[in-house]
Amino acid sequence: ITKPKVMSSPLVLSKFIYWGLIIIVIQTFIGGWTSANYAGTSCEKLMICDDMKHDTFLLIDAFNPIESLQLDQHSKVITENKMAVIQFIHHLFAIFALLYFSLIVAYLLKRQKLSERGVRKDCLSVLGLLILQFILGMSTLVFSLSITLVVLHNLFAALLFIAITSLYTKLSLRTSL
């Protein structure tokens, strides 16, 4: 009995998916950081934040895990420039994740053998969830952080992680095309 040849394509592709999982984890972390810092309304356009100053120190300060929120005398959060930086980074990383996975999924969908073996369904799920995430994210800006949209955005982030994990598992377990 001979072992089947391990083709490099599925292994290489699974590594791209693995790094994509890391991208999604980072994006989810940034989304949580955005919520924890009440930064969701600080940047109401996709790539333009009116209150954001371009300062490297501000970027480091925006992701300082020790610093706490500044409150006024009525215990309301004081809006700071760093909040716009946090939200801007979340937007930027969302676009990066969308482009990253769109390229991978497009490549996988073009490969006939992978499409025939159940990977096609996972690819379409990942792509659909990514697009839905992007739409929900933009909708939270348009509708001023509607709690329903924010919860749906978080729910579909979890489903996206599951779909990407499924795709990764199927590709990494492949021994032949």
Over the stretch 70-83, which tens digit does the pLDDT of each residue have? 666 655 665 667 78
List the structure tokens of 14.
Answer: 């699974």
pLDDT for position 159: 95
Tokens in use for 61?
């300060």
The 10s digit of each residue's pLDDT in 120-160 is 889 999 999 999 999 998 888 888 778 888 899 999 999 99
As a whole number of angstroms, the distance between CA 148 and CA 159 comes to: 16
Question: Does 13 score more than 70 pLDDT?
Answer: yes
Which pLDDT band, with edges at 50, 70 and 90, does 114 fall under?
Answer: low
Q: What is the mean pLDDT of the chain?
A: 79
Average pLDDT over residues 41-53: 64
Check: pTM over 0.85? Answer yes or no. no
Rounded to whole angstroms, the Cα distance separating 59 from 170 reads 38
The span from the CA of 119 to the CA of 58, in Å, is 42
pLDDT of 89 higher than 50: yes
* In contact, 58 and 87? CB cutoff 8 Å: no
What token pair was written down for 175?
A: 């021994």
Determine the Cα–Cα distance for residues 162 and 165; give it in Å rounded to an integer: 5
Bridge partners of residue 71, in order along the sequence: 77
